[in-house]
Structure 1
Amino acid sequence: MTRSSIRFVRRGRVVQVDDFAPRTTLLDWLRIEQRLVGTKEGCGEGDCGACTVVLGRERDGKLVYEPVNACILLLGQIDGAKLITVEDLAPGAASGSKELHPVQAALVARHGSQCGFCTPGIVMSLFALYHEGVRPVTREAACDALAGNLCRCTGYRPIIDAALDVCAEPAADGSDARADATLAMLRRLDDAQDVFVGDEDAFFAAPASEESLAALLAEHPEATLLGGATDVGLWLTKALAPLRKFIWLGRVHGLGDIHDSPEVLALGATVSHARALEPLAAIDPDIGEVMRRFGSNQVRASGTVGGNIANGSPIGDLAPMLIVLGAHLELRGGSERRTLPLENFFLAYRKQDRRKGEFIRSLLVPKPGPGDHVRVFKVTKRFDEDISSLLMAMRVTIQGERIVMARVAFGGMAATPKRALAVETALLEQPVNDGASWAAAGEALASDFAPLDDHRASAAYRLQVGKNLIVKALAEIAGAPSSATRIIGHRETAHAAE
């Protein structure tokens, strides 16, 4: 069965949209079609957060609220969700009540708004934090929640103070009381039907099964596969790419599954970065820290692990980390499946080993074993929500005092994420606590890379920082205290002293 409409919940009722241009963003639909202009258009690329709205979906039997950037999310991607905009928050909003939501009231009380342009997006990000359920919210959690929201008038302190105030007590806005009714509505919308809006020349499609996806992709191999749209959305809003056919993977049964065993973590292609954070952080804290800084809450809620890998960006953070862990990709084209090492997937700049009609099914991530040590470092100009100038991931196995296995990979150094084979060779059979061998391994980096030279960093900077990170990782593995090598934790100390 196929339906030619999308359906979602808003203000307690089901909304059905039967006809829309496939490339329509949620922001344009809200502002232009519905005249809901509280949601603002700022950067148009998912960085400033002025367009933030919240989507409610069922996760493990519970209603979960997540902030998303409406400016780069396609309208079709809200199928099956509950949509909440800033106009919906106040009690009795549908009847024109002027009573404020607790988040709005806290911002007023703390003078957290001046020009007000950014305020609706900030309100929606804090609404999602308000419903996370962890009480009391720490300052760091509030900063994480607001990392994707820019404000140039007010300054962040009163905004963060408002977040701490309103999230000190349990949520009391009625949304939780209506959660069971909302879940029942969302479950009725989950009809397992394929969605196809448009015609053979231009369409938005959302297959419900792998079989439907494989068949549709075989018929339209030129269609754009859509994960979270955190990059494809920019192709539309910034590059103005003339894309006409979209196949969204978000409804494909099974592609959003996570299977976690003692030996292997299996992540379905449509698992979001937000959902992947916890199981990846359990593999190693460094990986968890990189995932925490992986864009903003809005980006992590939308972006998918499969989309990040399929995009093939040379500065993607996920690939180097998974490469050193020995991850494999599982792909499907038609009825055929194949598996290959992740490091072999990247062929050249923006070119991957994905055959015509193929899609990524899952990532299989082996977990480190006894004697394994993992280190990951992300270098950026700005601490939060910034693209890496350089990312280094290292896994070494120590037996006795010697390195018997080494895998080192970099992002941001070359046209693809890539292992540093000369560095690995230089480390093998070396004493782990030998500073001279650390330096020699760092010098070997020049044999592996002629680094990129662009506006994020010069080639010379990347090479020098790469050498430093190799030494830094090995020093920590040999026993140097992380307090001497890390800035993580210094922010907490500074805030406590305020």
Structure 2
Amino acid sequence: MIDFLLNGQPRHCAASPDTSVLEMLRENLGQTGTKEGCASGDCGACTVAIGETDADGRLHYRSANACITPAHQLNGRHLVTVEGLADGDDLHPAQAAMVACHGSQCGFCTPGIVMSLFTLHEAQRGGDLAPLTPQRLEAALGGNLCRCTGYRPIRDAALTMTEHPERRPQWLDAAAPRPAAPSSDAPFAQPETLAELVELRRRHPEARLVAGATDLWLEVTQRLTRFERLIDVTRVAELNAIEETTLDDGRHGWWIGAAVTYARLEPLLEENVEPFAHLLHRLGSAQIRNRGTLGGNIANASPIGDTPPVLLALGSRLWLAGPEGERELPLDDFFLGYKQTALREGETIRAVFLPRPEAECHLKVWKLSKRREDDISAVLGAFAWQLEAGILRNVRLAFGGMAATPKRAAQAEAALEGQPPTAAAFRAARQALGDDFQPMSDVRGSDHYRQLSAANLLERLRLVIAKQDSDTSREVMLHAYAH
């Protein structure tokens, strides 16, 4: 059973493990304001707000795609939909601004847009965000597509929400009910400790793990897969921790719990690993980043996952836990083949070690995709290096989309290691890519396109290094997301 608040009203619902929030709203609860567009988390028509209480007792509302959010994860949470925003006849500022700015035509995508504006307004109201900038607005609305209105009226509505009366239902600040802990034999289990998770995995080895569900739930919506048993890792305390540490080899950094979302991780990256934070701007939408996890992106073992190449370039490690105990493993040794990993039976990723780049270490991350944002990579390159007395040291070149797994370019690295960053050295590195990779062709790009793109990214890296080592202010590339 699922106990939660729907627009301030207590709900007690039964649902199968593979029921989505969208399905429960429309089919079980008769709440049809939330629409289904793509059923894959891309268009934002199904956007809702989910309220969770943090460690300090503050309630935060974050946008989510209802079509790929497991309904059982609402247990003990607030769910707010477009039907609940008005206080009687008084519209919420997000609604009033959309009306005043003529931000809707057919109205199909409008509920999702209003809910994204609602969470943006709540964040501004709570002081969580700096004054609204074009970049903040783009991040908030980047996951909402509109096919008929055009975005200018929607943007105008976002910028004028504060001009409308602050009318919001009082229940938005109410505490959510404390649900009874589900039985360990429940089809949708929600362990709260690592020990409980390990025991559940031992007892139910057939169960799938779920965190953000941003990829797993596509098996439900696109392939019509049915899950008989799921284990939700999002409430495991150890998997939600961020701990600063120093490893035995002297490297300083953080153990990032496998269930930590991108949204939670972003402030740490912005302060310490800015190129990685920059990549998050192009990793899905706000709705995806609010739910997707670093551990899930790694465990998924997709060759086009965005974060593994960056972590490979940084030299990350994994902290694994299972019935035989806990162990550490270099990320380089984790990916064995397409969707195959070094996880033993019953093991799970507990945390990911994110090294703090040393002052002399440089990092660049470039993603190529058909759309600028909210799209899957065709090729992603992550490059780390040091330049000592004009010589390249500790070169690590990692790519996504070039092999069956995220993979370092060992031959290209060897061609650059110990060499000055000359055109000749990089020419040899580009040639070595042919030994490192034999990419496949698919809808995102041909093998020739990928091989050429990877080589061009290395040439771009050479130009970046040359620019850093000179007094010129010439830009390597003019692009909205050049970095």
- Deviates further, 262-271 or 104-113: 262-271
- Please list the CA deviations of residues 170-221 of structure 1 after superposition, one character each: whole Å capped at 9, or x if unmatched: x93346x767x53xx24x6277x455574xxxx1111111111111110111
Please give the alpha-carbon distance, in whole angstroms, between the structure 1 residues aligned to 2:99 and 2:48: 20
Q: Offset of 1:486 from its aligned partner?
A: 4.4
Please give the alpha-carbon distance, in whole angstroms, between the structure 2 residues aligned to 1:370 and 1:162: 43
- Please list the CA deviations of residues 334-383 of structure 1 after superposition, one character each: whole Å capped at 9, or x if unmatched: 25111101121110001111111111100011111132111110111110
Go from structure 1 to structure 2 and tell me whether the alpha carbon gap of 1:484 and 1:155 turns closer, same or farther (over 3 Å shift): same
Residue 173 of structure 1: which of 167, 171, 181 is its match? 167
In the other structure, the counterpart of 1:493 is none
Please give the alpha-carbon distance, in whole angstroms, between the structure 2 residues aligned to 1:110 and 1:298: 24
Please give the alpha-carbon distance, in whole angstroms, between the structure 2 residues aligned to 1:60 and 1:420: 42
Matched, 1:233 2:217: yes
Q: 1:128-167 counterparts in 2 under 5 A? A: 128-133=119-124, 134=129, 136-167=131-162
8 A Cα contact 2:337 2:404, kept in partner = yes
Matched, 1:277 2:302: no
8 A Cα contact 2:259 2:294, kept in partner = yes
Matched, 1:48 2:43: yes
Corresponding letter in the other structure for 1:9:
L
Identity %: 42
Please give the alpha-carbon distance, in whole angstroms, between the structure 2 residues aligned to 1:399 and 1:118: 53
In the other structure, the counterpart of 2:321 is 332
8 A Cα contact 2:333 2:342, kept in partner = yes
Matched, 1:90 2:78: no
Q: 1:351-430 counterparts in 2 under 5 A? A: 351-430=340-419
Corresponding letter in the other structure for 1:89:
L
Go from structure 1 to structure 2 and tell me whether the alpha carbon gap of 1:489 and 1:388 turns closer, same or farther (over 3 Å shift): closer
In the other structure, the counterpart of 2:249 is none
Matched, 1:436 2:432: no
Q: 1:286-305 counterparts in 2 under 5 A? A: 286-305=275-294
Matched, 1:105 2:96: yes
8 A Cα contact 2:18 2:226, kept in partner = no
Go from structure 1 to structure 2 and tell me whether the alpha carbon gap of 1:484 and 1:478 turns closer, same or farther (over 3 Å shift): closer
In the other structure, the counterpart of 1:116 is 107
8 A Cα contact 1:333 1:359, kept in partner = yes
8 A Cα contact 2:464 2:476, kept in partner = no
Please give the alpha-carbon distance, in whole angstroms, between the structure 1 residues aligned to 2:216 and 2:474: 38
Q: Offset of 1:417 from its aligned partner?
A: 0.1
Please give the alpha-carbon distance, in whole angstroms, between the structure 1 residues aligned to 2:474 and 2:317: 31
* Superposed CA RMSD: 2.1
In the other structure, the counterpart of 2:68 is 72
8 A Cα contact 1:273 1:302, kept in partner = yes
Please give the alpha-carbon distance, in whole angstroms, between the structure 1 residues aligned to 2:279 and 2:383: 14
Go from structure 1 to structure 2 and tell me whether the alpha carbon gap of 1:475 and 1:242 turns closer, same or farther (over 3 Å shift): same
Please give the alpha-carbon distance, in whole angstroms, between the structure 2 residues aligned to 1:147 and 1:197: 40
Matched, 1:126 2:113: no
Corresponding letter in the other structure for 1:87:
E
Instruction: State the TM-score, normalized to the length of structure 2.
Output: 0.92
Please give the alpha-carbon distance, in whole angstroms, between the structure 2 residues aligned to 1:44 and 1:31: 13
| Number of residue pairs matched by the alignment | 469
Secondary structure at the aligned position of 2:68 is classed as coil
Matched, 1:259 2:243: yes
In the other structure, the counterpart of 1:496 is none
- Please list the CA deviations of residues 241-267 of structure 1 after superposition, one character each: whole Å capped at 9, or x if unmatched: 232110001111221111235821211
Q: Offset of 1:439 from its aligned partner?
A: 2.2
In the other structure, the counterpart of 2:198 is 214
Go from structure 1 to structure 2 and tell me whether the alpha carbon gap of 1:484 and 1:204 turns closer, same or farther (over 3 Å shift): same
**Structure 1 residue ranges without an equivalent (≥5):** 92-96, 491-498
Corresponding letter in the other structure for 1:286:
P
Q: Offset of 1:164 from its aligned partner?
A: 1.2
Please give the alpha-carbon distance, in whole angstroms, between the structure 1 residues aligned to 2:408 and 2:394: 14
Corresponding letter in the other structure for 2:458:
I
- Please list the CA deviations of residues 91-133 of structure 1 after superposition, one character each: whole Å capped at 9, or x if unmatched: 1xxxxx2322111111111111000000000000111111122
